[in-house]
Amino acid sequence: MLREKTIKGASKLKYKQITKKNFSINQSQEKTIENFLEELTLYNNKTNLVGKSTMTDPWRSHILDSIQITNIITNKNSKILDMGTGAGFPGLILSILGYRKVTLVDSSRKKISFLKEVCKKLDIDANILLQRIELIQNNNYDFLTSRALANLNKLLFYSHKLIHKHTVMVFLKGQNATKEISDAKKNWDFSFNVLKSLSDDRGKILIINKLSTIRPWKLSL
């Protein structure tokens, strides 16, 4: 048991060090992230916000996974909508890092309640919205982000009314990303780039723009 705890502790430290080495995080931001993870752990013990197994190494599964998109979204004044933000990944982490115009949207009342509570407690500046994505009436976003919300075809359905011609979509995906792209191409025309995830050897980051519908009459949830 001691060896198992030691290995888990070493893994946590490893990915925290990797994150700090490769991304610009000051001491105040690091402390806020640590405090946020403590709050998430406490809340998650009462009501399920994220899979409990992911909290064994949150710097890999949540923090590094979120922070890596700052390599893509470099302007901290960008208007960002984090769709289906859940427990705040990646949107809340971007807010902690100084991104000033992040909106976190989710239809789950318990998740939004957690985010509002933790933002107030830790003095995190983020716009938090309890709303179904398809009901949002705004296409003024520079970036749309999402993680573990839906397959790509559905994500593009959510996105197509929220974008303008310069909007870029940044979606954190798993090992089925290639198939999801192929399936989505049946209904949508778009340009895309695929990057390897820094937090998961099987994960991918999809960067999508120039989105338009091919067969709008077949689009549905």
User: Which pLDDT value is given to residue 18?
Assistant: 86
Number of neighbouring beta carbons within 10 Å of residue 204: 19
Question: Does pTM top 0.85 for this prediction?
Answer: yes
- Return mean pLDDT, the chain: 91
Report how far residue 47's alpha carbon sits from residue 7's, in angstroms, rounded to the nearest whole number: 27
> Which of left, alpha, beta for 86 (phi over 0: left; psi -120 to 50: alpha)?
left
Domains contained in the chain, CATH given: 63-218 (3.40.50.150)
- 1 pLDDT band, cuts 50/70/90, is very low
Query: pLDDT tens for residues 76-97?
Result: 999 999 999 999 999 999 999 9
**Which two structure tokens, joined as six digits, stand for 128?**
């938090």
Lowest mean pLDDT among 34-38, 67-71, 173-177, 216-220: 216-220
User: Quick one: average pLDDT of 179-185?
Assistant: 96
What percent of the chain has a predicted confidence (pLDDT) above 70? 91
Where are any strands of DSSP class E within the chain? 79-83, 101-106, 127-130, 143-147, 168-173, 188-196, 204-213
Mean pLDDT of 121-138: 95
Taking the C-alpha atoms of residue 22 and residue 9, their distance in angstroms, rounded to an integer, is 20
| 1-5, 60-64, 112-116, range with the lowest pLDDT | 1-5
Q: How confident is the model at residue 15 (pLDDT cuts 50, 70, 90)?
A: confident
Whole-angstrom distance, CA of residue 77 vs CA of residue 153: 28
DSSP character at residue 186: T
Best CA proximity match to 140, nearest among 162, 158, 165, 157:
162
